Amino acid sequence: MEIIAEFSDNEGLTCKLTKDRFYVSSLGNEETFALRAVNGIGIYDDLETYNKELTLFKKQDEKNSIKKIACIGVGILFLGLGISKEETTMIVIGIIIAIIGFNISNKLSEPILNSYLRIILSGVDRKFLFNKSEENSVSIADFINKLEQTLTAYN
């Protein structure tokens, strides 16, 4: 079995291409495709899900910014009142509220754009999630180009 091209994303997806077969191995899943059955291949970025998650993240970030400003403002107000009236409890409460304001952060993590290796078969398509980073984007593009050259649909 002579391997024409190979790709790995270091997170579980490995693809190998031979003259007549295409092998995909992902976490807990291994599949083999005959090249004569593959009608097309490409990369699919799930922009719809990413945009929804990004909108939710920005709303949460905006809410947290308002909470931060409010807590810091109330903390400074209590601190100022405590200093002017010389009440240590108000000073302590002001400091605690201001510290809470500085420590408010996002509970959501910044969204990640999911990329899929998409294989189009007779009326069906299969998607395999992979990590598209700068260091492996060239190798996945090279792999897809070599795979397209071997597909009978492209000849």
Co-location of 60 and 31 in the same domain: no
Co-location of 26 and 59 in the same domain: no
Q: Is residue 108 part of a domain?
A: no
Q: Which of 137, 122, 132, 112 is nearest to 49 (CA)?
A: 112
pLDDT at 134: 63
Joined together, the tokens standing for residue 106 give: 């996002």
Q: Is 132 exposed, middle or buried (0-12, 13-18, 19+ CB in 10 A)?
A: middle
> Over the stretch 43-80, which tens digit does the pLDDT of each residue have?
888 899 999 989 988 888 888 888 888 888 888 888 88
Question: Domain range for residue 98?
Answer: 48-103
Q: Which of 11, 18, 12 is nearest to 143 (CA)?
A: 18
- Confidence band of 101 (pLDDT split at 50, 70, 90): confident
> Over the stretch 1-41, which tens digit does the pLDDT of each residue have?
788 888 888 777 888 988 888 898 888 788 888 888 888 88
pTM above threshold 0.75: no
